[in-house]
Amino acid sequence: MIKSLLHSNSSLALNRQVRPDLLKDNSFASISSRTPRDLGMIYTSQVRSASGIHRLPDEILSSIFFNAIQVYDNDDPSEAAYFPLTISHTCSRWRKVSISTGSLWTSIRLCLPHSSNQLTYLKAWLSRSKFYSLDILLDFRDEDWGWEEDDHLFTHDAANEIISIILPHVKRWRHIEFFTDTWVPIHAFLNLTQDVVDLPVLKSVALSRCNAYFARKGECFKPVEMRRAIPLFGGAHLPALQDLSLVGVHVDWRRSILVNLLELELKFHAYDVVPDLGEFVVILKSCPDLERLSIVGWGPRLDATFTEPKRVLSMVKLTRFVFGFVDVEYAVMLLSLFRLPSICELELEDVSAIVDPAGPSDATSILNLLSLSSTNSDSNSCFFPLYQIECLELRSIRSSEAVFAQFLHYFNSLEKIDLSDVDSALLSSLGPQRFSPGPEPKIEVPHKARSRRPSFVSSLSTSLAPCPQLVDLTCRRVDMSLLSSVIFARAEAGSGVRPLQLVQLELDDDANESDDGASTTSGLSGRDRTSLLKTGVDLIINHA
């Protein structure tokens, strides 16, 4: 019943700019003259008296509301945040019960445009949530922003106003996410939270200045006058903090208390504000139970004194590692510091594909390093045990087919692979190969990778397909014709290779699924679709 009610009131539930008069804790009678568009379904007194749900005790009704919100929170957190308002505008009794149930009002979502009505909404949620822990999302990104730092709809004053309202409730913060395009609002947040001394229930923090441009090689942090590092929450101890995401947001790495984390994301920082190697090592060694680590762009500063790499970062509980690079030589040096004996999920991305006009680099030396680090059967010397990885994501990675074949040869446990913007060399290497391991790969930074023609074969007597346990394949922005050929060839690869079960293709909206056999990186031809279906896979096509 509650689910159908929400759908009937979707215009109210999703409206960020809630009218302040609808937030007043008055009786239903005072707002009964509103239109159904504002109030949703209005039950008559005859229906209310006959309905079984209106005979339920308040405590049961309150529990039903709370559980309904949990369901919607899993599907769409933004929708769930406004669900209590829908309930409170259904009938007088539901309004009374919902307003008195503080646990319904703990999710706060704010976005553009900033307005006084938005502040009224914020204050109402803070008041009605009583003593319960808060989940706060402040998303003030503007897709129409023109990239000028001092010309944005979300200003310093607006950020100050919102942060000042939620700051007195800081002891109740459980999850805080703050997304902006510019640095000024983030700077305001870091400054205004300097005097915080007690955050007993804070489990996750995500601060994002969403501008990948600053991760380009040679770029420096801007605005320069706000470059000074500020400690996170003034260096306060955060006893419950488990997950921290800093995207384009630097802090005073030495004075911030970053300990006992389970997940850490450091993404798209300018090189001049990242931690030095010593600070980076201290942070990671202070998180011995870290399970998920993302480094995209730059990790620590590796200055001119960095010479002989040593495996100084042994992270025995890390299971997921996301690594995005903008400089291949730096990436090789940084990866040489790690030992990840428990890794089972790996994601590699050439970030220069999106921040550098020159496009992706040749990742041969990175792939060779990972392959070489997986060759030793001794667990103490096998720094990246590729053979135990179950999920692999590769984005904009370039190399030769031979190097890819050597790299994928080690993924004996791989069950799922996700490929984005990869060329024919990588796709071809997934097909059956005449494979014979050669000498140990050399670690070097070669010139830009060149496109190679596919060389996979389908002879059962001489072929070996890599990743024999692979059953789930997701692709986007790839050569669909070549992909279908590779999948068909894998189906004929012989014993020891599990057939693919699921293939998911994400196509651009403007992709044409033609009936001819033309190769395309955006559309899927009718012939290729037929070829895929003949292999027996479940084919799912999504349009971006």
Q: What is the pLDDT of residues 8-20, one digit of tens each?
A: 333 223 334 444 4
Percent share of the chain, pLDDT over 90: 52
What pLDDT does residue 193 have?
97
Does the pLDDT value for residue 400 go beyond 60? yes
Give the tens place of pLDDT for each residue, 415-461: 999 999 998 999 999 988 654 444 444 544 434 333 333 444 433 33
> Mean pLDDT across the stretch 281-299?
96
Does the pLDDT value for residue 128 go beyond 70? yes
What pLDDT does residue 69 have?
79
What pLDDT does residue 283 have?
96
Interatomic CA distance for residues 136 and 156, integer angstroms? 19
Does the pLDDT value for residue 50 go beyond 70? no
Does the pLDDT value for residue 377 go beyond 50? yes
- DSSP track, 162-215: HHHHHGGGGGGEEEEEEEESSHHHHHHHHHHTTT----TT--EEEEEE--GGGG
What pLDDT does residue 434 have?
54
Cβ(251)–Cβ(232) under 8 Å? yes
* Amino acid (1-letter code) at residue 220: C
Does the pLDDT value for residue 89 go beyond 80? yes
pTM for the predicted model, two decimal places = 0.83
- Which DSSP symbol is given to 265? E
More confident residue, 186 or 85: 186
Place of tokens 């000074």: 228
Place of tokens 């009131």: 9
What pLDDT does residue 123 have?
94
> Mean pLDDT across the stretch 336-343?
93
Give the tens place of pLDDT for each residue, 505-532: 988 765 544 444 444 545 778 888 888 8
Cβ(298)–Cβ(326) under 8 Å? yes
Interatomic CA distance for residues 463 and 6, integer angstroms? 56
Query: In this predicted structure, which of 67-76, 116-125, 326-335, 383-392 has the lowest mean pLDDT?
Result: 67-76
Query: In this predicted structure, which of 36-45, 82-91, 276-285, 341-350 has the lowest mean pLDDT?
Result: 36-45
Phi, psi of 226 (to 5 degrees): -115, 20
H helices, E strands: number in the chain: 18, 16
